[in-house]
Amino acid sequence: MKTYHLKCYHCERPHKETESVTECIKCGGPLETYFNYEEVHRRLNMHSLKTAPLSAMKYVAFYPIENFESIVSLQEGGTPLLHATNLGNKLGLKYLYIKNEGLNPTGVFKDRGTMVEVTKAKELGAKAICLASTGNMAASVAAYASAAKIPCYVLVPEGTPVGKLAQTLTFGARVIQVRADYSRCAELASEMAKKFGYYLAGDYTFRTEGQKSQGYEIIEQLFWKCPDYIVCSVGNGTNFHAIYKGIKEFYNLGLIKKLPKIIVAQTTGCNPLVKAFQKKSTKFTIIKPNTVASAMAVGNPSDGRKILEDVYESGGGCYEVDDEYLLQAQQEMAREEGVFSEPSGALSYAVAKKLADENFFKSDDVIVVSACGNGLKDPKSPLKILPEPATLEPEFSEIERFIDQKLYAIRESGSSEKTKILFSNTPTAEKVGNIIIKEFDVDITNKILEAVTENIKQFITKGKKIKKADLGYILEEVLDEFSLQDRVISIEDFEIKTGMHKPAKAEIWGNAFGKEFKSTAEGVGPVDAAIIAIKEGLKDQDELDVKLIDYAVEIDTRGVDASVEIKMTMSGKNGDSIVSRTTSPDIIVASIKAFEKGFNILYSKR
Ligand SMILES: *Cc1c(COP(=O)(O)O)cnc(C)c1O
Ligand SMILES: [Zn+2]
């Protein structure tokens, strides 16, 4: 006997699985799976439910699976629930817990739902699976489809984080990047399924059924007690609706005595549900997402109405933080609790933190935040606010310099309050020295201080205000220069002429191997011309025959006056190869300085 049936959540039209397992064929609304709980209860082994080790598979009676032989599982679920005492102490919360969903097989909670979805695809004899995804579902479905030996087509928005793309491609899915956001990809995937008869995976009802297991586990891990609050980041709303639905099932079976309040976490760049909640409505307005939390960047949430109704029913709410706040919270969760989560995963904690700061919770409330996805999936996001680590020569004296000059402190303090403006006019050396002690806790010699002040002056003459991050860079660069054994070249000045339809012409004044030089050269662009001109000035003196291997420009665009960071990989003919980095408001200055520095490093190493 079937334990479940499908109905439209909006118009309640019943559906056979052969008609649709995704959207209502009458009104287009989302389908929902309804169980006959007496039948579920009969299938349930209460003894093993209470004693078997944690895993998604122990709740198989709660899934709409008819044929257990078709199950496609990678042993998802059974993730840790950590008592976050360090963060709890900071926020004045005694019972703050993190559900670390990043430890699922592909690094995200979605594996729980994918297990059921791909099992159903197999049961229904799918010849191929297709889906739209912001990246995580792509990787998850790709993995399970491979295990089930079903071909998988994936549509992702252009610019999907590299970790997720790498996973999806490695699992062998056929990936299409679309120049649009997730919601458009979802429309296209749905059309693809209709036209080619593929199984449409995505945030549909069978996925919900699989994702209920996160809810069951939270209850079990709290020793069969229900938390007061669960906070979870929401894109389509499928996951959180599933968690709540699972907990309600346990409640209806008499396994717990109350229900949690559910708190939806979103970012200001993607907040359709927060806006609806502020109007006390179950209808939301579609928005265009723009947020670093790419996994929840859904402007038209397919389960939006379901999750809003859950929020009102439970007495919870929907709240937001901005991207900057989120990235800081991501750092904090990692540093205090050892949980490295991608931005969308850390969003749950970020919102809990903001609410705690506003005294939203009582100190003995039991609060679970779901850290939905692994940080390794999107390593570029934290690097937006973290500096690159220092690169040193392989000498122990360099390690000593790192400790003595507190290079680590310069890097670390440069990453908080990055955009605080320290100087708008050229300061005195004394003032620079005081600020460096205050901001970076580093005391430097007069000679180094003079060089730093000179550098600041150059920036200010170019019309740039010096922010804290800039001062950090300048300070490190000067310390680097002073640590070089051999400074065989220095570039004193340059002039470059360039236009749209003619080659660039560079003139360089400098000093190489103890002699002054002045040289000119043409190149396809200004940087090219400048570097050819420098090499020209060195003529036959450059024994190492230094070559530029790779050149990368990164622009820090937060703030009006962007800085450019240049990374040059250079090598000498003795086989040494190094990476030279510099920062400047001017791309040409930064490039010339990077070349000069790299050249000197290669000669110092010789
Ligand atoms: C998919 C995903 C979300 C959003 O989940 P929904 O079910 O769409 O609400 C949030 N965080 C991460 C890490 C995700 O992968
Ligand atoms: Zn309908």
**Stretch 384-405: mean pLDDT:** 80
* Cα-to-centroid distance, 430 and ligand 2 (Å): 73
- CATH class as words, domain 76-386: alpha beta
The CATH number of 485-606 is 3.30.160.270
Phi and psi at 130, nearest 5°, equal -130, 155
C-alpha–C-alpha distance, residues 231 and 98, integer Å: 10
Mean pLDDT of the region 54-65:
94
pLDDT digits (tens, 9 = 90+) for 436-456: 988 888 888 888 899 899 989
The residue whose CA is least distant from atom 11 of ligand 1 is 344
Sign of the alpha-carbon dihedral angle for 386, 388, 392, 396 = positive
CA 6 to ligand 2 centroid distance, Å: 11
Residue pLDDT, tens place only, 167-221: 999 999 999 999 998 889 999 999 999 999 999 999 999 999 999 999 999 999 9
Residue 400: is its pLDDT beyond 90?
no
Contact 259, 314 (CB under 8 A): yes
Look up residue 316 and give its two tokens.
């919870």
Would you state the pLDDT for residue 415?
A: 63
**556 pLDDT above the threshold of 70:** no
Please, are residues 228 and 366 in contact by the beta-carbon 8 Å criterion? yes
Q: Is the dihedral of CA 323, 324, 329, 334 positive or negative?
A: positive
Please report which residue ranges of 338-428 form alpha helices under DSSP H.
343-357, 380-383, 396-404, 407-414
Instruction: Specify the pTM.
Output: 0.81
Q: Give the 3-state DSSP-derived string for 47-90, with helices as H, strands as E and coil as C.
A: HHHHHCCCCHHHHHHHCCCCCHHHCCCCCCCCCCEEECHHHHHH
Q: Which residues pair with residue 551 across a beta bridge?
A: 568
437 or 366, which is more confident? 366
**What confidence tens digit (pLDDT) does each residue in 262-298 have?**
999 999 999 999 999 999 999 999 999 999 999 999 9
Q: DSSP label at 376?
A: G
What's the gap in Å between 119 CA and the centre of ligand 1?
21
Atom 14 of ligand 1, nearest CA residue: 295
As a whole-number percent, the residues of the chain with pLDDT over 90 amount to 70
State the pLDDT at residue 473: 81
CA of 1 to the centre of ligand 2 (A): 25
Helices 205-221 and 238-252 cross at an angle (nearest 10°) of: 60
Residues with a CB atom less than 6 Å from ligand 1:
108, 110, 136, 203, 233-240, 295-296, 298, 342, 344-345, 372-373
Q: Are 138 and 154 a contacting pair, CB within 8 Å?
A: yes
Number of the ligand 1 atom closest to the C-alpha atom of 372: 13
Percent of the chain with pLDDT over 70: 98
- Minimum-distance ligand 1 atom for the alpha carbon of 301: 8
pLDDT the model gives residue 459:
83
Nearest ligand atom owner, CA of 20: 2
Tell me how far apart the terminal alpha carbons of the chain are, to the nearest angstrom: 79
pLDDT for res 558:
46
Mutation probe of ligand 1 site: the residue of 233, 271, 311, 342 with most atoms within 8 A of C-beta: 233
At 586, the pLDDT band (50, 70, 90 cuts) reads confident
Which ligand 1 atom sits closest to the C-alpha of 373?
A: 13
For the segment 37-56, the average pLDDT, to the nearest whole number, is 88
pLDDT band of residue 155 (cuts 50, 70, 90) is very high
Give the three-class secondary structure for 596: helix
Task: Supply the pLDDT for residue 185.
Answer: 94
pLDDT per position as a tens digit, 512-524: 998 999 999 999 9
Quickly state the pLDDT bin for 414 (edges 50, 70, 90).
Answer: low
For the CA of 11, the nearest ligand: 2
Strands 421-423 and 366-371, bridge-based pairing: unpaired
Ligand 1 centre to CA of 436 (Å) is 42
Rounded Cα–Cα distance for residues 553 and 587 (Å) = 8
What pLDDT was estimated at residue 259? 98
Tokens representing 191?
């059309």
Q: Which atom of ligand 1 is nearest to the CA of 109?
A: 15
Mean pLDDT for all residues in the chain:
92
| Ligand 2 centroid distance, CA of 491 (Å) | 72
* Rg of the chain (C-alpha set): 29
For residue 303, the CA-to-ligand 2 centroid distance in Å is 13
DSSP secondary structure code for residue 101 in this structure = G
pLDDT at 559: 41
Choose the residue to mutate in 137, 241, 296, 347 for probing ligand 1, maximizing ligand atoms within 8 Å of C-beta.
296
- Tens digit of each residue's pLDDT (9 = 90 or more) over 473-517: 888 888 887 777 778 999 999 999 998 888 999 999 999 998 999
pLDDT at 423 over 80: yes
